[in-house]
């Protein structure tokens, strides 16, 4: 059975039944909410990146270098990774690709696009969400985004939705609850909150706003959810 482990902020590990390990938006060493450091991440086969901001990408290149993982992201992020000696697979919004573990589709998100570590500015990219299918389960990591009508296009395609609720930089609890209404996942996990004072939120309030639309799993860093 596949599993999902939360590492704090917006960093997750998805582990397939065959042991394949996929880290999404790795932010360990400078993450005040992280349960582990990058050196404790263990074996990693794939690193998936929604966008290039520091709090989603700071450990992506080092982690891929240290583990030999393949980095998956937008064309620009993949190009930057390759310029740093990392094996990468380039995608872009609307595209889906089959991998040995299942598939990844890049979905629309509304957010900034700078790439951490790019001193030239030539790799600026669009932010995205990631719809990851593993062992027949569909997990959508929304990345950093505001509420969009495009989320309705995901209805019926998502088993577990990972949604930011921190407000200020992303959706807040009210808009994230609207996103649940649009997507209709079975389970929703709030993320991207409480890491710093500016994004402090009460996840129980989010649970109340969601009501009976989905099961809300409030995950502590280090907690694992069976998919």
**Residue pLDDT, tens place only, 3-48:** 999 999 999 999 999 999 999 999 999 999 999 999 999 999 999 9
133: left (phi over 0), alpha (psi -120 to 50) or beta: beta
63: left (phi over 0), alpha (psi -120 to 50) or beta: alpha
Q: What pLDDT score was predicted for residue 110?
A: 87
Q: What pLDDT score was predicted for residue 162?
A: 99
- Domain count for the chain: 1
Whether 226 is covered by a domain: the verdict is no
Whether 42 is covered by a domain: the verdict is yes
**Residue pLDDT, tens place only, 53-104:** 999 999 999 999 999 999 999 999 999 999 999 999 999 999 999 999 999 9
Whether 72 is covered by a domain: the verdict is yes
**Model confidence at 147: pLDDT above 80:** yes
**Pairing verdict, β 128-134 and 3-6:** unpaired
Domain span holding position 26 = 3-221
Q: In what helix (H) or strand (E) does residue 97 lie, and over which residues does it extend?
A: strand 96-99
First vs last C-alpha separation in the chain: 7
Q: What is the mean pLDDT of the chain?
A: 94
Q: What pLDDT score was predicted for residue 92?
A: 96
Q: Are 182 and 152 in contact (CB under 8 A)?
A: yes
As a whole number, mean pLDDT of residues 146-168 equals: 97
Tell me the DSSP string of 134-187: ETTEEEEE--S----GGGGGGTTS-SEEEEE---SSS--HHHHHHHHHHH--SE
Look up the CATH number of the domain holding residue 114: 3.60.15.10
In the numeric block, which tokens belong to residue 189? 């996990």
Q: What pLDDT score was predicted for residue 115?
A: 53
Whether 164 is covered by a domain: the verdict is yes
As a whole number, mean pLDDT of residues 175-186 equals: 98
Q: What is the DSSP letter of 220?
A: P
pTM reported for the whole predicted model: 0.94
**Model confidence at 123: pLDDT above 70:** no
Whether 74 is covered by a domain: the verdict is yes
As a whole number, mean pLDDT of residues 98-116 equals: 85
């Amino acid at each position: 059975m596949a599993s999902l482990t939360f590492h704090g902020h917006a960093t997750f590990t998805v582990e397939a039944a065959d042991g394949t390990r996929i880290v999404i938006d790795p932010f360990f060493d400078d993450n005040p909410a992280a349960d582990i450091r990058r050196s404790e991440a263990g074996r990693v086969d794939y690193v998936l990146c929604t966008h290039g901001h520091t709090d989603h990408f700071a450990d992506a290149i080092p982690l891929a270098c240290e583990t030999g993982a393949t980095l998956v992201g937008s064309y620009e992020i993949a190009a930057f990774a390759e310029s740093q000696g990392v094996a990468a697979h380039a995608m872009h919004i609307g595209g889906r690709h089959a991998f040995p573990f299942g598939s990844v589709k890049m979905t629309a998100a509304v957010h900034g696009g700078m790439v951490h570590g790019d001193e030239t500015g030539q790799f600026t990219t669009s932010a995205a969400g990631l719809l990851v299918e593993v062992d027949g389960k569909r997990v959508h990591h929304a990345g950093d985004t505001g509420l969009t009508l495009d989320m309705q296009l995901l209805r019926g395609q998502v088993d577990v939705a990972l949604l930011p609720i921190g407000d200020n930089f992303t959706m807040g609890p009210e808009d994230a609850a609207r996103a649940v209404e649009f997507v209709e996942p079975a389970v929703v996990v709030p993320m991207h909150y409480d890491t710093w004072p500016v994004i402090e939120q009460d996840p129980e309030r989010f649970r109340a706003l969601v009501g009976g639309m989905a099961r809300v799993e409030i995950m502590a860093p280090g907690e694992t959810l069976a998919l």
